[in-house]
Amino acid sequence: MLRPLLVPCLAVPALAADLASNVPDGHTLHLWHLDELEAPFADLGVPPQNLEGLLNGASAGQPSLPGLGSAISFNANAGGAPSTSDLRGAILLALPKTVSGPQDNVPGGFRYFGAGGAFTYEVVLKFDILPKDAGVAACGLMSMDGDGQDRVFNFRIEKEGFLSFIPLPDGGAGGLALATIPTNGPHAIDTTHWFHAAVSYDGNEGVANNLKLYWTKLGPGLTEANRIGSGILSSDFSGASGDFAIGNEARTFAANAEAEPFPGLIDEVRISGVARHPSDFFFVPPARRASPEQVAARRSNGAGSPDFRLRLENVLVNASSAVLPSAPSGVLRLGSGLHRLDFDFGFEPDNPGGSIKLRCQLEGIDDRWQETERGMSLVCQALDRENRVISQSRFPFIGTSNGWETALEDSSMTRRVEPVYVPAETAALRLSLSSGSPDTTGFVTVDHLAITVPGKSETSMWKDGSIALSETTARAAGAPEGWRRDGSDPAIARVVFRGGGGFLALVDGDQQHHGEWSSVQSIAPGHGGVFVLSWEEAYNVSSGSLHRATYVNVPPGNYTFRAVGLAGESDPLGDGISLPIVIEPPFWQRPWFGPMLAAGSVALVAAGIVVRLRRRAKRRLEILRFQNALELDRTRIARDLHDDLGTRVTVLNVTAALAKRDLDSDPGKAHRHLDKMTDAARELVVAMDDLVWAVDPAHDTLDHLASHLTRLAEEMFRDSQVRCRLDIPAVLPARPLGAEFRHHLSLAVKESLHNVLQHAGPCEVFLSLEFDGEKITVTIRDTGRGFDPKAHGNGHGLSNAPARIREIGGSYAIDSSPGRGTCIVIICRLPQTPT
pLDDT tens, residue by residue, 321-356: 888 888 877 899 998 888 888 898 887 665 545 556
The CATH code for residues 308-374+545-587 is 2.60.40.10
CA distances from 569 to 345, 369, 573 (A): 20, 13, 11
Local structure of residue 806 (DSSP, 8 states): H
Handedness of CA 331, 336, 338, 339 (dihedral sign): negative
Sign of CA dihedral 534, 538, 540, 546: negative
Query: Hey, what's the torsion of the CAs at 602, 604, 610, 611, to 10 degrees?
Result: -170
CA distance 32 to 50: 8
Angle of helix 739-759 relative to helix 800-807, nearest 10 degrees, comes to: 160
CATH 3.30.565.10 fits 700-835, yes or no: yes
- For residue 280, give the amino acid letter: D
Instruction: Reduce the DSSP state of residue 293 to 3 states and report it.
Output: helix
What DSSP assignment string belongs to 625-660?
HHHHHHHHHHHHHHHHIIIIIHHHHHHHHHHHHHHH
- CB neighbourhood size of 170 (10 A): 20
Distance CA 564, CA 309 (A): 9
**Contact call for residues 715 and 686 (beta carbons, < 8 A):** yes
Q: Are 515 and 492 in contact (CB under 8 A)?
A: yes
Q: What is the pLDDT of residue 11?
A: 40
Name which of 262, 280, 261 is nearest 270 in CA terms: 280
Q: Is the dihedral of CA 457, 463, 468, 473 positive or negative?
A: negative
Per the CB < 8 A criterion, the answer to whether 331 and 580 are in contact is yes
Look at residue 203 in the predicted model and tell me its pLDDT: 93
User: Distances from the Cα of 673 to the Cαs of 650, 662, 676, 685, 719, in angstroms?
Assistant: 14, 9, 5, 18, 20
Helices (H) and strands (E) in the chain, counts: 8, 41
- Spatial contact of 244 and 94, defined as CB atoms under 8 Å apart: yes
Tell me 413's DSSP state: P
The number of CA neighbours under 13 Å toward the Cβ of 802 is: 12
Cα-based angle 85, 111, 137 (whole degrees, multiple of 5): 15
φ, ψ dihedrals at 5, nearest 5°: -130, 130
Laid out side by side, the sheet with 775-782 consists of 722-727, 763-771, 775-782, 822-829, 811-816
Q: Quick one: pLDDT at residue 573?
A: 61
| Residue among 198, 199, 196 nearest 216 (CA) | 196
Domain ranges of the chain: 28-300, 308-374+545-587, 375-543, 591-695, 700-835
Q: Enumerate residues 6+ apart whose C-beta is below 8 A from 759.
A: 784, 785, 787, 796
Q: How far is CA 116 from CA 176, 202, 711, in A?
A: 19, 8, 123
Rounded Cα distance between 302 and 305, Å, is 5
- For 545-575, letters b (16+ CB in 10 Å) and e give bbbbbbbbbbebeebebbbbbbeeeeeebbe
Determine what percent of the chain falls in helix, strand and coil, rounding each to the nearest 5: 20, 35, 45
What CA–CA distances, in Å, run from 442 to 347, 400, 472, 494, 791? 21, 10, 25, 13, 113
pLDDT lower than 70: segments of the chain: 1-18, 302-308, 348-356, 468-477, 500, 567-574, 626, 629-630, 632-648, 650-651, 683, 685-687, 689-699, 792-799, 833-835
167 Cβ neighbours under 8 A, 6+ residues apart: 152, 153, 173, 174, 175, 176, 233, 234, 237
Pair 445, 504: CB distance under 8 Å? yes
Cβ(485)–Cβ(516) below 8 Å: yes
Inter-residue contact 496 to 537 (CB < 8 Å): no
Q: Beta strands of 665-774 (E only): which ranges?
A: 722-727, 763-771
Pairwise CA distance, residues 497 & 412, whole Å? 13
pLDDT of the residue at 768: 93
Contact 505, 444 (CB under 8 A): yes
pLDDT at 10: 39
The pLDDT assigned to 143 comes to 95
Domain 28-300 has CATH 2.60.120.10: no
